[in-house]
Structure 1
Amino acid sequence: MNFLEKITGSDMTKEMKDFEARAKVLPGDYQTAWKEIVSNLWIHGDFTGRNLMPILDSALELLEVTSADGQSVEEVLGDDIKGFCTALVGDESAKNYRDKWRDQLNKNVARKLGGLK
């Protein structure tokens, strides 16, 4: 990845298009599960989302392998896709981007208020 790709995010755009192309060949229920996985994982991303690319790749590979084996989505992911995504990124207390921004804001406010004393 060169500097321009990193700044513009074009490398990630290409990777997401590749993921979507791979997902299109999955059965319909797997495609629906993929869309839910993507939407549930993005909240756990950093500012750019680069930290999620390997996780998304692994999740899609899991869907590809299990659909080829003839398993149903429910057998693989269970009924709780959001819980599955939380398990992929860590535990229930996994920080999402809102938590990171809130912590940063609190630190900035405390620093400013601390400077007023």
Structure 2
Amino acid sequence: MSILEFTSKLIGEKRRWRDYKARVRKLPANYRAAVEAFERYLMYFGSEDADSVCSMFEDLADLFEQSAADGTPIRDIVGEEPVEFIEAFLRNYPEGQWRYRERDRLTDAIDRVAGDDEA
């Protein structure tokens, strides 16, 4: 990747992040607080891929913007278990997540060695 391509990608993702943050700031206070709480969680457990991260946060903003516009209560969006909600949401963005790569690596390793046991 050339320096121009890298810089262009970096600037584009930074712009997407700023746009996302501006959208969140426009949400009603309780919706904004919910999104910010999910954002903190996703920063620890989300993807490492910048494009995937941007898409994930944009989709989260879409969900809460639409829900706020429709007057949908937050509990109707996330249910009684917010961790289950955000984990299900996160599973839609497996690209770049170290947990999924490690799970795949573990499964592949066991599949390889288990094949030897069956012989």
Instruction: Give the structure-1-normalised TM-score.
Output: 0.66
Unpaired runs of 5+ residues, structure 2, are: 106-119
1:37 aligns with 2:33: no
Unpaired runs of 5+ residues, structure 1, are: 104-117
The structure 1 segments of at least 4 consecutive aligned residues displaced by more than 3 Å after TM superposition are 95-101
- Residue 85 of structure 1 and its aligned partner are, at CA, apart by 1.6
Contact 1:5 1:11 (C-alpha < 8 Å) held by counterparts:
yes
1:69 aligns with 2:37: no
Instruction: Supply the distance in 1 between the matched residues of 2:56 and 2:100 (Cα, whole angstroms).
Output: 20
1:58 aligns with 2:49: no
Instruction: Supply the distance in 2 between the matched residues of 1:72 and 1:90 (Cα, whole angstroms).
Output: 23
Identity score, percent: 20
Superposition RMSD on alpha carbons, in Å?
Answer: 2.6
Aligned length: 96
- Residue 4 of structure 1 and its aligned partner are, at CA, apart by 1.3
Instruction: Supply the distance in 2 between the matched residues of 1:3 and 1:49 (Cα, whole angstroms).
Output: 12
Partner of 2:8: 5
Instruction: Give the structure-2-normalised TM-score.
Output: 0.65
